[in-house]
Structure 1
Amino acid sequence: MPAMHDFATWEPLLRILRADDVRTPAAPDGHLAGRIGRRGWVRAPRRPRRGRASRAELDAVERVLRALADAEARDVCFKAEVSPTGATALHLIDPGPAVEPGFATVHPGALLLVEGALAEPWRRLPDPTPGAAPSPSADPALLERTLRAQVPGARGATEAEIAAAEERLGVTLPDELKVLHRVTAAGRRGRGDVDGAAEHLDGAVDCELLPLERLYVARAPTRPCDWRSAAMQVVDTPPGAAVQGLVGSPGWIVFAVGGGGDPIAVDLTPGPRGALGQIVLIDHEQVIGGELLADSLTDLVVNGRGEGRRDRPGDRPRPGARTDLAGLTDLRAVVDPRLEVLSTGGWQGAPLSLVPVMGLPRLRTLTASPGTLADPLEIARLTALEFLELGPQDWRVLLDAGAVPRSLEAASIEVHRDQDPLPVVDLANEILALRDRPPITRTVLHGDLGPL
């Protein structure tokens, strides 16, 4: 059997967890649980950390991580039931390909009901801007003279290499970007780099230029996000924006990388107040929009990077989303045909009826905390839902009535951090079975830790 399914692999960690559980308040249902994976490990119930983890604990976790790597598994959840005599039943929970890992929890993350489906903001294409034109600062001839003066003698790309890059990317490179690669050794370290021209040019524009063969288009999949977080996002491009509020765009051609590793792109799909060919930074700490750095590549090379002029979240209202009902006394206050995302978080009143939001054409995400809905069956009348998050009791009502919306592409179960993961896994598998998706699997290992 694989080492991951060998009780001896887990025994050192289980001994440490059991000893710690004796010194602190035990879980209400008497179990030990956790998640171990490439992004680290968590345990439930969570314990206050008394300084750094011991060497023994680190070694025990590393032992399991090696077994995971050998089994080519991304992560695993576990629950251990330990009797007073030390007899132990260890449940290993493999989320499988249809479930995202939960964040800092032992419970399943988003359930992927449609293979390959993306949340709506990740499917959104740029709005057309037929009147968009290059900035007056765009001057390929000036750009060429400046580059030749900065990196004299540099050997650039051939026309055949530029044509090959265009064919690979599926786009025609703008004239300024062609000039950059035609007359310089942009990004070329080693072959063809005359007297460190690539590094000299990087310093001149305060970023690392990519070689022609590494240019790419920053479409939405290049900005990954877990399904639940993605479903809560709303694309919003105000009339005065220079950069469209998109996750990605077929017109964002990445040609450089900033000091923090952020992609820098030529923007061929600008916002209403932007310029064709402007330079934008795609912030890795944001999942929507970009930061305007320069009005053109000429502007960037001649004048350097600007301070950035991205519209900050919160600087403007987001009419398409209402993610918190705190302070409201009537759901009708959020009714708007543009409403896309609704969360009952913060609601303090009597259980809500969803009747006021029925029929809204764009309502695609609903997250309802346990106890906030008067009648969960009303959800069946929200015909545009793509993502739904409910507590176990509300999911039970929908499942028993056969009322889970067919429009759903992903779903989530809201549970307390320390809740027993096994009933949650069973519920998740019922939801996955509605769409014939691969289930979460469980393997039970038996062993003996001996008495304390």
Structure 2
Amino acid sequence: MDDQRNPTPSIHDFATWEPVLRLLRAEHAERLSVPGGRVAGRIGQGGWSVPLKRRLPPLGRAAQLEDIRDEHDAVERVRSALAKDGVDAVSFAVEIEPAGRTLLHLLEPSPAVESGIGPHPGALVLVEDSLPEPWHRLPDPVPRAAPAPSADPAVLEQTLRERLPGTVGATEAEIAAAEVRLGVALPDELKALYRVTRANWEDWRGDYEAARRHSEAVRCELFGLDDLYVAEAATRYCPWQFAAMDAVDIRPDAVVQGLVGSPGWIVFGDNGGGDRLAVDLTPGPRGHTGQVIILSHEENVGAGLVADSLTDLVLDRPSAEPSSEEVRRPPAVAWVNASSLRSIEAAVHPGLEVLAIGVWDGPPLSLAPLTGLPRLRTLTAYPGTLADVLEIAELTGLEYLELGPQEWRVLLDAKAVPRSLSAAAIKVRHDEDPLAVADLANELLALWDRPLIIRTVIEGDLGPVA
């Protein structure tokens, strides 16, 4: 009944925001008293960034909810409205006159805009469902690849039966069904493993100690057959703003191909720390079919060798990774800034894919040396570092571009935004006006007829300060 009398208001109701606004007025009175002065932030169902100072807890005590009770309760009111309205997050900027008249500007997310930091948008996805070039790369064929000499399904099965007596194994029909679902034949070693144990939680009847012993026996947290998956590139999600900075590296002496994902990487377990273990059916030129690799949850590209075979993994035999001479070649990703490369010329070579121009203490840089590079696809430039922004028009292969607001303004006014782009981003300083940035983002989105960031103004009155 209480819920019917006091329903959660919408995010477009001034009452929803009033507790947050009163806290912001109390803390930022001087800034808000200046004509046009604004305070901005972001509130989402997963967290919030609201510019309020927090009291330090007493010495020797950890921070507790009671230390931020007012902020928490005010924000929770907004988060409840977000959940009710089916909105994941909203950015805001507020103006409050001394007499209490308030303008609250809301920026609701667009499906074409990735999450950013604070009130500013992340990358703008200009082409729907587009992915950076590394996410399109497939493994090179290695026709001579073969299983490692150490691979021995019979020894693997016998060892596991000795370690796991009485364990329930998968049937041949269950294994075949998994192959149909995945669209790939499981290697013999993986089949042998699942014939011994199907790794279903219900088989342990809630016994955590039994689950621990099981993981110890198979040397990983083994997935059930229904949870096996192929680690294709699409399963390794990364926002455009970071993914565009990666590059695939497949070397002629590689044991594991340095890809984002592969149709031959069958993930079967976890190392207990969030890193995935997979059997590799598309090894590098010096690898083995069925070798065990690890996909780090902290990296977007590549995988590391764990064992030459599943048999080696279970028997704790070290991998015999072949030694190789270091192949030196210019990097595909280059950084020009005050502490890295000191010129664009130093970064240029035919294989350059990504150039990031950072904080710079010299004269503005010309992009002319980049013209004609066959693989250049990503350019990011810190505000104020470019001598002539319109030189970007000569870089016809760009798929991702990140510039400051002023640089984007030049391209927009000259109608020179590269049409080859799949995504873009606006590089902002922390104090950049989020409303102006949202307007600029919408201009870019409109060029590709993509959904815009929704701007709403809510008027209210907080009354004079008591």
Matched, 1:14 2:27: no
Unaligned runs of 5+ in 1: none
Shift of residue 307, structure 1, vs aligned partner: 9.9
Unaligned runs of 5+ in 2: 1-7, 57-62
Q: Distance in 1 between matches of 2:369 and 2:330?
A: 20
Shift of residue 343, structure 1, vs aligned partner: 1.4
Matched, 1:347 2:360: yes
Q: Distance in 1 between matches of 2:190 and 2:46?
A: 38
1:245 counterpart residue number: 258
Q: After the TM superposition, which residues 319-338 of structure 1 pair with which residues of structure 2 at under 5 Å, given as runs?
A: 319-326=331-338, 328-338=341-351
Which amino acid letter does the alignment assign opposite residue 13 of structure 2? D
Q: Secondary structure at the match of 2:11?
A: helix
Shift of residue 120, structure 1, vs aligned partner: 1.2
Matched, 1:382 2:395: yes
1:5 counterpart residue number: 12
Q: Distance in 2 between matches of 1:34 and 1:132?
A: 54
1:403 counterpart residue number: 416
Q: TM-score, normalised by structure 2?
A: 0.89
Matched, 1:77 2:91: yes
Does the CA contact (< 8 Å) of 2:364 and 2:385 recur in 1? yes
Q: Distance in 2 between matches of 1:435 and 1:86?
A: 41
Q: Distance in 2 between matches of 1:346 and 1:272?
A: 40
1:98 pairs with one of 112, 115, 118 = 112
Compared with structure 1, are the counterparts of its residues 203 and 175 closer, same or farther at alpha carbon in structure 2 (3 Å cutoff)? same
- The size of the alignment, in residue pairs, is 444
Deviates more, 1:51-60 or 1:320-329: 320-329
Which amino acid letter does the alignment assign opposite residue 24 of structure 2? L
Matched, 1:413 2:420: no
- After superposition, what is the alpha-carbon deviation per residue over 1:145-172, rounded to whole angstroms, capped at 9, x for unaligned? 1122222333322222111111100111
Q: Distance in 2 between matches of 1:422 and 1:152?
A: 65
Shift of residue 238, structure 1, vs aligned partner: 3.5
1:302 counterpart residue number: 315
Deviates more, 1:16-25 or 1:109-118: 16-25
2:285 pairs with one of 253, 272, 278 = 272
Compared with structure 1, are the counterparts of its residues 133 and 31 closer, same or farther at alpha carbon in structure 2 (3 Å cutoff)? same
Q: Distance in 1 between matches of 2:143 and 2:330?
A: 25
Shift of residue 348, structure 1, vs aligned partner: 2.4
Q: Distance in 2 between matches of 1:307 and 1:129?
A: 20
Which amino acid letter does the alignment assign opposite residue 102 of structure 1? G
Provide the identity percentage: 60
Which amino acid letter does the alignment assign opposite residue 295 of structure 1? D
2:4 counterpart residue number: none
Does the CA contact (< 8 Å) of 2:204 and 2:210 recur in 1? no
Compared with structure 1, are the counterparts of its residues 282 and 200 closer, same or farther at alpha carbon in structure 2 (3 Å cutoff)? same
Q: Secondary structure at the match of 1:256?
A: strand
Matched, 1:139 2:152: yes
Q: Distance in 2 between matches of 1:83 and 1:379?
A: 43
Compared with structure 1, are the counterparts of its residues 35 and 162 closer, same or farther at alpha carbon in structure 2 (3 Å cutoff)? same
Q: Distance in 1 between matches of 2:272 and 2:217?
A: 13
Root mean square deviation, CA, Å: 2.7
Q: Distance in 2 between matches of 1:192 and 1:16?
A: 52
2:235 counterpart residue number: 222
- After superposition, what is the alpha-carbon deviation per residue over 1:103-128, rounded to whole angstroms, capped at 9, x for unaligned? 2x211111110000011122221222
Does the CA contact (< 8 Å) of 2:33 and 2:96 recur in 1? no
1:187 counterpart residue number: 199
Which amino acid letter does the alignment assign opposite residue 333 of structure 2? A
Which amino acid letter does the alignment assign opposite residue 429 of structure 2? H
Shift of residue 2, structure 1, vs aligned partner: 5.5
2:273 counterpart residue number: 260
Q: After the TM superposition, which residues 194-233 of structure 1 pair with which residues of structure 2 at under 5 Å, given as runs?
A: 199-233=212-246
Does the CA contact (< 8 Å) of 2:175 and 2:225 recur in 1? yes
2:173 counterpart residue number: 160
Shift of residue 23, structure 1, vs aligned partner: 7.5
Q: After the TM superposition, which residues 112-151 of structure 1 pair with which residues of structure 2 at under 5 Å, given as runs?
A: 112-151=125-164
Q: Secondary structure at the match of 2:262?
A: coil
Q: Distance in 2 between matches of 1:159 and 1:23?
A: 73
1:56 pairs with one of 65, 70, 89 = 70
Q: Secondary structure at the match of 1:190?
A: helix
Does the CA contact (< 8 Å) of 1:292 and 1:308 recur in 2? no
Deviates more, 1:350-359 or 1:47-56: 47-56
Q: TM-score, normalised by structure 1?
A: 0.91
Q: Secondary structure at the match of 1:289?
A: coil
Does the CA contact (< 8 Å) of 2:399 and 2:423 recur in 1? yes
Does the CA contact (< 8 Å) of 1:151 and 1:197 recur in 2? no
2:37 counterpart residue number: 30
Shift of residue 261, structure 1, vs aligned partner: 2.4
Shift of residue 268, structure 1, vs aligned partner: 1.1
Which amino acid letter does the alignment assign opposite residue 463 of structure 2? G
Q: Secondary structure at the match of 1:54?
A: helix
Deviates more, 1:350-359 or 1:200-209: 200-209
Q: Distance in 2 between matches of 1:227 and 1:212?
A: 32
Q: Secondary structure at the match of 1:3?
A: coil
2:101 counterpart residue number: 87
1:436 counterpart residue number: 449
Q: Distance in 2 between matches of 1:153 and 1:207?
A: 19
Compared with structure 1, are the counterparts of its residues 308 and 56 closer, same or farther at alpha carbon in structure 2 (3 Å cutoff)? farther
